[in-house]
Amino acid sequence: MTDIARIPAARVTGFTGTLVKLVANRMLGQVPDQIGVMWHNKRVLMDLMGVNRKVEKWHELDEDLASLAHMATAAAVGCSFCLDLNYFMAHNRGLDEAKAREVPRWRESSVFTPVERRVMEYANGMSQTPVAVTDDLVEALRRDLGEAALLELTARIGVMNLSARSNVALGIHSAEFATSCGLPPLAAPAEEASAVGSIA
């Protein structure tokens, strides 16, 4: 697999293109290639952006937990673009960068609370095929969060799966947002780190 998307990015043009580029530059400091890839079907791009804007207005779930769920979903699916973007967004929103950095190795890391671990376990389970979520985990999260926040968590993970799986299928990779703002690299899961160590 290469770092080049499977569909070449189109030139983002016209009035709508100018607005999309302005928003991307304001939020991210750049216009990621993903937008150029999606520009081949502007309706799909704009509708997906609309869904994500609506998700951002949900407020029953704690913002830190929502970020951890998004990143755990991206890690489970293998979307480097989503993982990097959400790490960058956590930094911009003043969330705990040390925790965000550790999401790829959440099982081994000691920085997470039991509730945070359950949220990431749920995100990971929902991102498997078939879905691997137990009654006990849902009941524990219902006690932790309440029904409204648990439903929001579930919907957020579902929407994140849509984005992450689409990006992976289209070959859209990390745009190095975190590197560009000086964040340390995301931690690697223990099995990846040991594999790299054995090769060196």
Both tokens assigned to 154: 């579930």
pLDDT score of 1: 40
Q: Do 45 and 91 have their domain in common?
A: no
Instruction: Inform me whether the pLDDT recorded for 199 exceeds 60.
Output: no
Q: Do 179 and 160 have their domain in common?
A: yes
11-64 residue pLDDT tens: 999 999 999 999 888 888 888 889 999 999 999 999 999 999 999 999 999 999
Q: Do 129 and 98 have their domain in common?
A: yes
3 assigned to some structural domain: no
Q: Do 43 and 115 have their domain in common?
A: no
pLDDT score of 93: 81
pLDDT score of 186: 83
Instruction: Inform me whether the pLDDT recorded for 195 exceeds 80.
Output: no
Q: Do 43 and 86 have their domain in common?
A: no
What's the helix, strand, coil split of the chain in %, to 5?
A: 70, 0, 30
Contact 75, 45 (CB under 8 A): no
CA distance 123 to 69: 6
Lowest mean pLDDT among 8-17, 72-81, 164-173, 174-183: 174-183
| Mean pLDDT, residues 183-192 | 74
Q: Do 164 and 66 have their domain in common?
A: yes
4 assigned to some structural domain: no
99-147 residue pLDDT tens: 988 999 999 999 999 999 999 999 999 999 999 999 999 999 999 999 9
Q: Do 52 and 92 have their domain in common?
A: no
Provide the number of structural domains found in the chain. Answer: 2
Q: Do 76 and 146 have their domain in common?
A: yes
Q: Which residue has the higher pLDDT, 170 or 194?
A: 170
Q: Do 45 and 72 have their domain in common?
A: no
31 assigned to some structural domain: yes
Determine the Cα angle at 86 with ends 81 and 87, to 5°. 100
Q: Do 68 and 166 have their domain in common?
A: yes
Q: Do 66 and 138 have their domain in common?
A: yes
Instruction: Inform me whether the pLDDT recorded for 174 exceeds 50.
Output: yes
pLDDT score of 181: 63
CA distance 48 to 54: 10
Q: Can you give the CATH number for the domain in which 109 is found?
A: 1.20.1290.10
Q: Do 90 and 174 have their domain in common?
A: yes
Range of the domain at 16: 9-57
